Amino acid sequence: MDRVALRGLKARGHHGVFPKEREEGQTFIVDLTLGIDTRAAAADDDLTKTVHYGIVAEEVVDVVQGEPVDLIETLAERIAQQCLKHAGVQEVEVVVHKPDAPITVPFDDVTITITRSRA
């Protein structure tokens, strides 16, 4: 399986369990790795035979900006399911970063990583 990766997609969302997170929102960063078969697209040099990663990126940002959820686990699942709606995507790895998580000690980042597939 071939891989198309999108790194550092940024969007503001209102996800979290605390009222301040829901009210003020924060930046979330998403990394995606799409598992697809690119042979037909490469052979014919044809965008319609692969996944249009620009459209996928827009859809992921829409999910992050959309309906708030409590957990980044839920957000990651919604992103994965959106990616799998594309016929060519057989598998997706989603990493959701929450660099401004409400943690009381110094930290660099909080992430959740999930992998989902059609199988």
Annotated catalytic sites, by residue? 98
Compute CA distances 58 → 79, 82, 103, 117, whole Å: 11, 11, 29, 21
Compute CA distances 21 → 63, 70, 91, whole Å: 17, 9, 31
Show Cβ contacts of residue 17 under 8 Å, excluding neighbours closer than 6 positions.
70, 71
